[in-house]
Structure 1
């Protein structure tokens, strides 16, 4: 038990601020749609392919400014987001008019905050570091409950320590942490699943193998040609809507490499994932539909994985669940910062040996 306590305290002292940063940025991003205020952001969602198609055609008409992908508006945010590559992009309203354009993600706070939360501004390396931090967070939760159990009869819930002394901080940390443990466990577990594929594969291994999950998400074995100008986007979207009448257009992606297909992600009502995993693919040279995939028919393991992001980012459950996950994020901020403060700045001074014992040693 002493070794477990030592590991718990040292790990908290070392990465507490990193976990606090992830908790704070995550809490802000959960409410992103509420604070990104641009003209048309509150516009009612247009879902008819006959209306969306001409807008898409207009946005993709000019090869010089053509986006690599379009993330369509949804019920919570009424603007289309255009991704241009190299951090550039734009927001367009549902009539196709550009309302904001940027050449770098640093120009849009919601974008660099998302990059900070997911990648720590360090690409794939930062994402792995964040995932390892979330994995250590799971260790904190489990070890914290074990350490709390022997002192459970002294439980006294406090949002803030009675004093900023080390004993008071430790007591508040212990009792507050055990109350927040279920929410923190959900945040850390889903964070691990989204960032550490080996751990995800291990967690899902009882229901699906990595090879089976990869096969389930594979694109059609059809080689695409060069992207033709003047494709009938309205007809293509109408074909997708005919295939999945209850599907909502979510992400249209153009080929980035030779041989790739045009892909369209849709979200059906049974899906929690905000951008859905229901797919339709088109030939770039003709616009003909060459394949589709219904997310509702995916293997159980793939459907379980698709729950990780909407739970982590509170994309399901409305305002109530966004507030619940905000509590989780703010709890992580409080626990992480006070853990570092008490470990590094409120450590007890080293005990000195009594004078008599020193003389005896001499």
Structure 2
């Protein structure tokens, strides 16, 4: 167990450091976006008698301004005084476009190639390597889970001495403090680190995990419904206003929050009806439409699960990110995320103290003797 923990830890020390730091940063993704681009989020002052801008008008403006590009998603302002947000893409390149909520004009856009925050997102989720990086991330998460399992076995010091591993004695030498710190931080963060590792594996390979859970309890309510969209071909879209009205009638207690647009002529238009906060996608009704016929295809009440299997799968995402429970939980999640780089650094120092430092001392002594011999000769 010790050897597995040691060598897996050495192999993953840089990965763990990067994932921990970037994860702690991304807990505050929304706040950082607003701070980085303050001029894009806030709408201009409303003019007296000016009608409110709606989503169909925003879509028309974006299509005229960015010809040849496809709209992926559009979100209504998440609070009063903010702008509409629209994602457009062409091939693998996309832009984040802001529409003034009071005038309907383009307020500006974000080029992901020049955004440090999007770079951090890509580093955390895909290690800057696309699908290959995503798979490597899943493998790294699986080995992190192995580190958690072997770590708790190594940490256990027996019934008489197990409480020693819960604290750090600052009166000892720095080597002992580093040793105690590694064990104590590992123990107190074991559950959340194991959860992050497991959910990291799930995000890369959800189907095998869901298939296993589904053997004992249905996970159907945690996933979008299945339906067939007739090929649209060159048919024009049905009236978007009418589909929005239909979605509001299907979810009368929710607020219209935005839309996911079809990526092909066999994909549905998804209208988002927020049951809670506008950007809380885990408490959202997803209303699916055939964009050509304007016919409602399905309704998914995400976050409402009637089986323990559905609840288990549903909670994996909000638990991993910690977005949905306010600032206090965000601060806690960010602080706990710092445990990963702390464990990585303290683990490397332990390896130095146990092995590499002694080898370095012997090498220096051997080099010194060789130099002295050369001088004497």
Which of the numbers 52, 55, 66 marks the counterpart of 1:53? 55
1:27: Cα distance to partner?
0.8
Q: Are positions 1:304 and 2:306 aligned together?
A: no
Q: CA contact under 8 A between 1:69 and 1:252: conserved in structure 2?
A: yes
1:137: Cα distance to partner?
1.8
Q: For 1:257-280, what per-residue CA distance to the aligned partner results, in whole angstroms no more than 9, with x for missing partners?
A: 232222224333399963656322
Q: Give 1:180's aligned residue.
A: 189
- Please identify the structure whose Cα radius of gyration is greater: 2
Which of the numbers 209, 212, 217 marks the counterpart of 2:224? 217
Cα–Cα, structure 1 residues 250 and 339, in superposed 2: closer, same or farther, change >3 Å? farther
1:328: Cα distance to partner?
1.7
CA separation in 1, counterparts of 2:171 and 2:191?
21
Q: Give 1:169's aligned residue.
A: 178
1:16: Cα distance to partner?
1.8
What is the 5 A alignment of 1:1-362? 4-36=1-33, 37=35, 38-39=38-39, 41=41, 51-59=53-61, 61-62=63-64, 63-75=67-79, 79-85=84-90, 86-93=92-99, 95=101, 96-103=104-111, 105-150=112-157, 151-155=161-165, 157-158=167-168, 165=175, 167-197=176-206, 200-201=209-210, 204-208=213-217, 213=220, 217-226=224-233, 231-269=238-276, 274=281, 276=283, 278-295=285-302, 298=305, 300=307, 301-343=309-351, 347=355, 348-349=357-358
CA separation in 2, counterparts of 1:156 and 1:260?
53
Q: Which runs of 5+ in 2 are unaligned?
A: 45-51, 363-377
1:213: Cα distance to partner?
3.9
Q: CA contact under 8 A between 1:267 and 1:273: conserved in structure 2?
A: yes
CA separation in 2, counterparts of 1:271 and 1:310?
15
Q: With the length of structure 2 as denominator, give the TM-score of the two structures.
A: 0.76
1:201: Cα distance to partner?
2.8
1:321: Cα distance to partner?
0.9
Q: For 1:14-63, what per-residue CA distance to the aligned partner results, in whole angstroms no more than 9, with x for missing partners?
A: 1022012111111111111112232253669xxxxx85334444345435
Q: CA contact under 8 A between 1:271 and 1:295: conserved in structure 2?
A: no
1:12: Cα distance to partner?
0.9
Q: For 1:65-96, what per-residue CA distance to the aligned partner results, in whole angstroms no more than 9, with x for missing partners?
A: 44232244435985514132423212314524
Q: CA contact under 8 A between 2:210 and 2:313: conserved in structure 1?
A: no
Q: CA contact under 8 A between 1:251 and 1:275: conserved in structure 2?
A: no
How big is the alpha-carbon RMSD for the aligned residues of Structure 1 and Structure 2? Answer: 3.5
CA separation in 2, counterparts of 1:164 and 1:189?
33
Cα–Cα, structure 1 residues 216 and 120, in superposed 2: closer, same or farther, change >3 Å? closer
Cα–Cα, structure 1 residues 186 and 339, in superposed 2: closer, same or farther, change >3 Å? same
Q: For 1:215-239, what per-residue CA distance to the aligned partner results, in whole angstroms no more than 9, with x for missing partners?
A: 9534422314146557532322121
Of structures 1 and 2, the one scoring higher in RCO (CA 8 A, sep 6+) is 1
Q: CA contact under 8 A between 2:99 and 2:107: conserved in structure 1?
A: yes
Q: For 1:239-258, what per-residue CA distance to the aligned partner results, in whole angstroms no more than 9, with x for missing partners?
A: 11121123344552333223
Q: CA contact under 8 A between 2:88 and 2:97: conserved in structure 1?
A: no
CA separation in 2, counterparts of 1:162 and 1:71?
55
Q: Which runs of 5+ in 1 are unaligned?
A: 45-49, 353-362
Q: How many residues align?
A: 340
Q: CA contact under 8 A between 2:225 and 2:300: conserved in structure 1?
A: no
